[in-house]
Amino acid sequence: MRLENKTVIITGGGTGIGLACAERFQKEGARLALFGRRKDPLEAAARRLGANVLAVPGDITKEEDVDRLIEITLKQFGQIDVLVNNAGTLGGGALHETPNDMWDQVLDINLRGLFLLTRRVLAHMVERKSGSLVHISSILGLVAVPQTGAYNVSKGALNQLSRSIAVEYGPMNIRSNAVCPGMVETDMTEELRGNAELMEDWKEHYYPLRRFAKAEEIANACLFLASDESSFITGTLLPVDGGFTAM
């Protein structure tokens, strides 16, 4: 029960890594507020998980939706102890062919929206002088690959934001860490993973463990950083990548 009596907000909480975090955290005693744009999977997850789980549909890029999430969570649970910033989107293509709207969408969701919510949560945590922020970044915030310029930039900036928070708010007992997954078997990567030949090449040449991650394995890392077991860890960028960044 590593998160007993703690309230956790998880963005993108209805599917993928967010849902895996919800399932893992609830087993450790957390009260959950799941936030995301897709209402049906969000509410289905909340129903399945049961007591002490809220589903709050909304768009992280809209301040009114972020404000509503904070208001509902505090009204129901009275406090916010942990924020898992998991909501995100992909965007691909050669940089010189990237349309303005694609660039803006990726940065809007992966960075600006995350800032809007984090700012509100930090204000609450400053009052309580306690909290843990766990940001789902990517190995592409540590290294760059072709055809994903906007995504690379958004995750690199997220890593610096996480470290900035750690430095600025550490004196208030607020920790901030980023998890940097490699390829994870989720709905978001399903289309890319459909290229079987390419995926086998990646496993053979870029992943020493010769496989991709399960969402539950990312959730385990998030649980550690969210809990008091990592009480002296802040400002870290934790690759959970099967050895990709060691190559």
Are the C-beta atoms of residues 26 and 3 closer than 8 Å to each other? no
Q: Count how many domains the chain has.
A: 1
Residue 2 lies in a domain: no
Are the C-beta atoms of residues 1 and 23 closer than 8 Å to each other? no
pLDDT for position 192: 83
Q: What is the mean pLDDT of the chain?
A: 97
Residue 1 lies in a domain: no
165-179 average pLDDT score: 98
pLDDT one-digit tens code per residue, 36-45: 999 999 999 9
15-33 average pLDDT score: 97
pLDDT for position 227: 98
At 163, the pLDDT band (50, 70, 90 cuts) reads very high
Whether the pLDDT of residue 144 is over 90: the answer is yes
At 193, the pLDDT band (50, 70, 90 cuts) reads confident
Residue 156 lies in a domain: yes
At 189, the pLDDT band (50, 70, 90 cuts) reads confident
Whether the pLDDT of residue 116 is over 90: the answer is yes
At 92, the pLDDT band (50, 70, 90 cuts) reads confident
pLDDT for position 187: 85
Residue 198 lies in a domain: yes
pLDDT for position 124: 98
pLDDT for position 100: 97
The two tokens of residue 168 are 């600025």
Domain of residue 173 covers 7-246
Active site residues: 151
pTM, full prediction: 0.96
At 166, the pLDDT band (50, 70, 90 cuts) reads very high
Q: Which amino acid is at 9?
A: I
Q: In this prediction, what percent of the chain has a pLDDT beyond 90?
A: 94
Determine the 3-state secondary structure of 85 from DSSP: strand
pLDDT for position 83: 98
Whether the pLDDT of residue 86 is over 90: the answer is yes
pLDDT for position 219: 98
Distance of alpha carbon 164 from alpha carbon 171, whole angstroms: 13
Residue 65 lies in a domain: yes
83-90 average pLDDT score: 96
At 14, the pLDDT band (50, 70, 90 cuts) reads very high
Residue 242 lies in a domain: yes
CATH number of the domain within which 98 lies: 3.40.50.720
198-213 average pLDDT score: 96
174-181, strands of its sheet edge to edge: 53-57, 31-36, 7-11, 82-85, 131-136, 174-181, 237-240
